[in-house]
Chains A and B, each alone.
Chain A
Amino acid sequence: DSGVTQTPKHLITATGQRVTLRCSPRSGDLSVYWYQQSLDQGLQFLIQYYNGEERAKGNILERFSAQQFPDLHSELNLSSLELGDSALYFCASSVATGGARTDTQYFGPGTRLTVL
């Protein structure tokens, strides 16, 4: 158990719908990262938040957005869902204290999204 929690574990929805995935980082970690993992694309970095602010952006679609709240939990919002959005969505957290010399990511169990 990494200490990173994600809910829900599974999500099944229809095309065109909107869903919200939730992540709580490990105690003491200020940074949250979101990844999408699919069979054809592999592990893709989506976005990073640090202490409530967006820090880095990867291959995140405009239909997707995220935020990190004052209690440091994060939500990933996926809208206008398409069949191709079906994937595993992982959250990871790290301490990431302002350009730390050493930093380690710990991953949550993931949310499996199925779009029908």
Chain B
Amino acid sequence: AQSVSQHNHHVILSEAASLELGCNYSYGGTVNLFWYVQYPGQHLQLLLKYFSGDPLVKGIKGFEAEFIKSKFSFNLRKPSVQWSDTAEYFCAVKVADSWGKFQFGAGTQVVVTP
């Protein structure tokens, strides 16, 4: 079964700093990849997703992610964060063409200080 690793559990950074969150998965076949964001007290919202094609995916709120197949990675980036980006970020993987469940990472808590 596939697994998902998010290496950073907590990240603290200042406004205007750049953000990069790592996500690695373990599965050799075709996967669907996702990043979700959960703002304090709210539900998970889809930030962006990758199915195929251009490995650089742009999502909402200025986020982007790059799929590197050789590294089994799908890292999330934002060039300049705002205080409102304080949230928990989850990476998720699903094996394509299968009934397999969506596998979520443990999440990364991001705190942006003014």
Contact = CB atoms under 8 A, between A and B. Distances in A.
B100 interface: yes
Interface in A68-116: 90, 92, 96, 98-110
A55 B99 contact: yes
Contacts of B103: 45
Interface in B55-108: 90, 92, 94, 96-104, 106-107
A101 B101 contact: no
Contact of A107 (B32, B45, B51, B96): B45
A104 B34 CA distance: 8
B32 A103 contact: yes
A13 B105 CA distance: 30
A2 interface: yes
A102 B102 CA distance: 12
Interface string A45-80: 100101000011010000000000000000000000
A33, A48, A105 pick with most chain B CB within 10 angstroms: A105
Given A107-B36, A107-B43, A110-B43, A101 B106 contact: no
B101 A33 contact: yes
Contacts of B45: 2, 107
Q: Which of B32, B42, B52 has the most CB of A within 10 A?
A: B32
A42 interface: yes
Interface of A: 2, 33, 42-43, 45, 48, 50, 55-56, 58, 90, 92, 96, 98-110
30 contacts: A43-B44, A43-B104, A45-B101, A45-B103, A45-B104, A50-B99, A55-B99, A56-B99, A56-B100, A56-B101, A58-B101, A90-B44, A92-B44, A96-B99, A99-B98, A100-B97, A102-B32, A102-B51, A102-B52, A102-B96, A103-B94, A104-B32, A104-B49, A105-B34, A107-B36, A107-B43, A107-B44, A108-B43, A109-B42, A110-B43
Given A92-B44, A98-B99, 15 more contacts: A45-B102, A45-B104, A56-B101, A90-B44, A92-B102, A99-B98, A100-B97, A101-B96, A101-B97, A102-B32, A102-B51, A105-B102, A107-B44, A107-B45, A109-B42
